[in-house]
Amino acid sequence: MNAVLDTAPLIRFEQVWKTYGEGDMRVDALAGVSLSVESGEFVAIMGPSGSGKSTTLNIIGCLDAPTSGTHRFLGDDAGALDRGRRAGLRNMHIGFVFQGYNLLPRTTALENVELPLVYRGIKARERRERAAQALAEVGLSGREHHTPAQLSGGQQQRVAIARAIVSKPTLLIADEPTGNLDTRRGHEILELLTGLNRQQGLSIVMVTHEPDIAAFAQREIGFVDGCIAYDRARAGVS
Amino acid sequence: MLQQSVRLALLSITRNKLRSFLTLLGIIIGVAAVIAMLTIGSGVREKMHADITALGSNQVFVSAGYRFEPGSPPRDAARPLASEDYRMLARRLVDVQATAAVARKSLRAIFGPNSTQVSAVGVTQDYLRIRNWKVTRGRAPTRAEMESGAGVCLIAPAVSKALFGSDSPLSARIRIGQMTCTVIGLLAAKGGSLFTDEDNTVVLPLEAYQTRIAGNRHVESIVLTARPGIMTARIKREAEAAFRQIRRIAPGQDDDFQAEDMTEIIKFTTDTISTFTALLGAIAGISLLVGGIGIMNITLVSVTERTREIGIRMAIGARQGNILSQFLVEASILSLIGGLLGIGLGLAIAWGATLLIGIPFVPSIFAILCLSGVSMMIGVVFGFFPALHGARLDPIEALRHE
Ligand SMILES: Nc1ncnc2c1ncn2[C@@H]1O[C@H](COP(=O)(O)OP(=O)(O)OP(=O)(O)O)[C@@H](O)[C@H]1O
Ligand SMILES: [Mg+2]
């Protein structure tokens, strides 16, 4: 793209505001947030309910644009792009993992994982190979033809992670990925994510409520009332 | 991409079979109406062509009546044609090959305990030859029998079967209305035509018909055939001129008779079919419109039901165009299925109808292809707005949707 790419951080927020509603109903979900995330980082976002964590994640994921301020992705002003270009950015660079898995029902694991490649216009054969490989990476070989209803919560979340990484994204975004799982399954998921981060250099931004889950990340950002309360590297990791 | 959309569409259609079917009723009925109409229409045309060829295209028919126009007197207000008119006309025309006069009435024919409703037709000598109507058993009346009005008759197969079963009708005496006649011959089967069913005919000498059945000298119609190489239009003109003189119609007065050649009869029938076709076409159009609205509705329902799915697809990189085409493909496949069902139903209806009225069954591949295309287009056109609505959803709102 340009020379900035090499030096620019992966994500940069400059005085980002996000406002919902008007007049008395006005809510500042984000009130002047500035932050930056470098390529290869694993960041956990913490904070009480309603503090603006999901809002931040939606903007980082190019699903939404700030009301004011700038959101740069790889140096480009992503907030200023139109919907079509934002969709293109998501497709090329970003993988999503949600709390509720959000797999397509009545669609096999393999087909769910193939979907991002479908929207990239990749041929069926290559799609199938890459999807099968991604499922293998999350430890689900042999479950290709199961539908979500035939998989446990932990397995469904693995399918969702496979779907998020199948297109070899730059950044993986996870909004409470362990929110629906018990501690043991949650830790397994986090081990998987940590592995992807360490071995493949995949950047991860994850929202969580649980300190033990946040402990897997290298850096923790705390939100309160739409502002950053703290931003610190975790002890013992670097 | 398209393959995936098609598979998805089929999946969501078959998942809601009953709902899909109900949605499609409008399109099914509309398409069925069009196909049935076109198929029956071309059957009628084909049959008509065959009938007219069988009847002979070199004929001119003369009958009493004023030209049919708004405000013209009714047909039976005209002076009837008389035997005398026929004889004078036959003498005057030079370009005709043969002439015949015909009068007919529906009556009961009785033989012993059996009876049946017949069409009693009084004819002159050349009638059977003009009609190319063969006598399969027995014989035709002689010239002397024709002229004297002898009590002899020819019966068609259905009459023979009704009165005599499998016995021979020859030489039997049957009653027709007030008259008794001897059966001297059996007519060949003509089968039903579009114009009449002639298998229940009893043919008598016109003379006998007039004196013993009608009680007057009236003639219903006169048939003229042109000599080879002579245009029927010319015969028609000659007959009109001659008939004005014979019937003493003053210059400037309207004809009180009508001479028609086959081309006019064909045109009249074709016009009637066209009117009928236009009417059915309008019904089909309304039905297709209703069907289209059904498609619009079901696509909107589908978009609403799958709002979350739309959100997921957008999050993983679907553009608006992808979502739009997914629902458009679904709508057009749905309406194509409706179209195909309609084509099947329409052909079945047409097949039944052609069997019933005895015309050939001629399905048109062209019409079938056209209608398949039209049904798909209905899906695209009516599915467009709901699909666009889905494509324009905000991804975050859509993801949050329950
Ligand atoms: N579409 C919206 N319309 C109006 N207000 C909204 C909307 N989305 C979020 N908000 C508000 O913005 C604020 C931040 O919401 P956000 O979803 O970012 O919180 P969160 O930190 O993710 O909370 P949780 O931990 O409960 O998920 C909340 O007060 C919320 O009510
Ligand atoms: Mg949240």
| B111: its two tokens | 């033989």
B392: closest chain A residue by CA:
A83
Q: Is A180 helix (H, G, I), strand (E, B) or coil?
A: coil
CA nearest B331: which of B292, B365, B289, B368? B292
CB within 8 Å: A118 and B4: yes
CB within 8 Å: A124 and B313: no
The residue whose C-alpha atom lies closest to atom 18 belonging to ligand 1 is A52
pLDDT of residue A116: 93
The residue whose C-alpha atom lies closest to atom 24 belonging to ligand 1 is A49
Residue in B1, B15, B318 nearest the CB of A87: B318
Query: At CA A149, angle to CA A145 and CA A150, rounded to 5?
Result: 50
CA A120 to ligand 2 center in whole angstroms:
28
- DSSP code per residue over B4-68: HHHHHHHHHHHHTHHHHHHHHHHHHHHHHHHHHHHHHHHHHHHHHHHHHHHH-SSEEEEEE----
Residues flanking ligand 1, CB < 6 Å: A 20-21, 27, 29, 47, 49-55
B307: closest chain A residue by CA:
A104
Q: Which residues of chain B are within 8 Å of residue A92 when distances are taken between CB atoms?
A: 317
CA B400 to ligand 2 center in whole angstroms:
11
Maximal C-alpha separation, chain A: 55
CB within 8 Å: B315 and A61: yes
Ligand nearest to the CA of A53: 1
Spatial contact of B331 and B382, defined as CB atoms under 8 Å apart: yes
B395: closest chain A residue by CA:
A63
Which tens digit of pLDDT belongs to each residue from B300-331?
A: 999 999 999 999 999 998 999 999 999 999 99
The residue whose C-alpha atom lies closest to atom 2 belonging to ligand 1 is A20
Interatomic CA distance for residues B364 and B361, integer angstroms: 10
Q: Which residues of chain B are within 8 Å of residue A116 when distances are taken between CB atoms?
A: 316-317
CA B91 to ligand 2 center in whole angstroms:
107
CB within 8 Å: A98 and B3: no
Q: Which one of A13, A25, A26, A27 would you pick to mutate in the ligand 1 pocket, going by the greatest count of ligand atoms within 8 A of its CB?
A: A27
Q: Give yes or no for A100 touching B (CB within 8 A).
A: no
CA nearest B57: which of B223, B268, B220, B189? B223
| A233: its two tokens | 């590297």
Spatial contact of A10 and A41, defined as CB atoms under 8 Å apart: yes
| B178: its two tokens | 């007030």
B188-192 contact pairs (CB < 8 A, 24+): B188/B133, B188/B134, B188/B135, B188/B136, B188/B157, B189/B156, B189/B157, B190/B133, B190/B156, B191/B358, B192/B357, B192/B358
User: What parts of chain B have a pLDDT lower than 70?
Assistant: 1, 53-56, 68-70, 72, 75-76, 191-196
Q: Give yes or no for B3 touching A (CB within 8 A).
A: yes
pLDDT of residue A115: 92
**Residue B43 dihedral angles phi and psi, to the nearest 5°:** -65, -45
DSSP 8-class letter at B281: H
CA nearest B39: which of B400, B310, B357, B285? B357
Least Cα separation, residue B308 to chain A (angstroms): 8
| B244: its two tokens | 């004005």
Ligand nearest to the CA of A49: 1
Residues 182-221 of A with CB under 8 A from B: none
> Could you count the other beta carbons within 10 Å of the beta carbon of residue B126?
17
Give rounded-to-5 percent helix, strand, coil for chain B: 60, 20, 25
DSSP 8-class letter at B396: H
Query: For chain A, which residues make up each domain, given as ranges?
Result: 39-57+90-233
Q: Which residues of chain A are within 8 Å of residue B322 when distances are taken between CB atoms?
A: 119
The secondary element (H helix, E strand) that includes residue B144 is helix B143-148
- DSSP code per residue over A122-135: --HHHHHHHHHHHH
CA nearest B29: which of B339, B242, B270? B339
Interatomic CA distance for residues A179 and A191, integer angstroms: 15
pLDDT of residue A46: 96
pLDDT of residue B129: 87
CATH number of A39-57+90-233: 3.40.50.300
CA nearest B30: which of B332, B339, B277? B339
pLDDT of residue B193: 59
Least Cα separation, residue B317 to chain A (angstroms): 4
What is chain A's pLDDT, residue by residue, as a tens digit (238 residues)?
444 455 789 999 999 999 998 888 899 999 999 999 999 999 999 999 999 999 999 999 999 999 999 999 999 999 899 988 999 999 999 999 998 999 998 889 999 999 999 998 899 899 999 999 999 999 999 999 999 999 999 999 999 999 999 999 999 999 999 999 999 999 999 999 999 999 999 999 999 999 999 999 999 999 999 999 999 997 654 4
pLDDT of residue B1: 63
> CA B342 → CA B12, B276, B295, distances in Å?
21, 20, 15
CA nearest A11: which of A52, A46, A47, A58? A58
